[in-house]
Amino acid sequence: MTAPKKWRVEVAYATPLRRQVVGVEVVPGTTIDEAIRLSGILELFPEIDLSRVQVGVYGEIAHPHDLVKEHDRVEIYRPLIADPKSARLKRAERAKHRAGGRKKL
């Protein structure tokens, strides 16, 4: 009897101070959630709560029950601290204030 084929996937997570990419071998039919758990990344980053974070594959949002494919890069995303639109508006206001309210030509 032959052993089941194994696929190599990566699980990635990053904080402002640290980035970790873990390679893991999985069998076809493995879900994103299972790959994350098999990778051991939850032990490296105990603050990850899989019930509250989003996950994706190569920058595309995915669901934990989606199946991984060979060579996938599973990514665990941290929640946003600030709304991107609000942050952009605040940066523009600060830049305008620093420029003394003058318009650039």
pLDDT for res 100: 67
**Does any domain span residue 87?**
no
30-35 contacts: CB < 8 A, separation 24 or more?
30/67, 30/68, 31/64, 31/65, 31/66, 31/67, 31/68, 32/57, 32/62, 32/63, 32/64, 32/65, 32/66, 32/67, 32/68, 32/74, 33/64, 33/65, 35/9, 35/11, 35/68, 35/72, 35/74
pLDDT tens-digit profile of 64-102?
A: 999 999 999 999 998 877 667 777 787 888 887 777 655
pLDDT tens-digit profile of 22-73?
A: 999 999 999 999 999 999 999 999 999 999 999 999 999 999 999 999 999 9
**How many domains in the chain?**
1
Q: What is the CATH number of the domain that holds 18?
A: 3.10.20.30
**Does any domain span residue 94?**
no
Question: Which range marks the domain in which residue 44 is found?
Answer: 7-80
pLDDT for res 91: 82
- Give me the count of residues in the chain: 105
Q: What is the pTM of this model?
A: 0.74
**Does any domain span residue 96?**
no
CB distance 24 to 86 below 8 Å: no
pLDDT for res 66: 98
**Does any domain span residue 67?**
yes
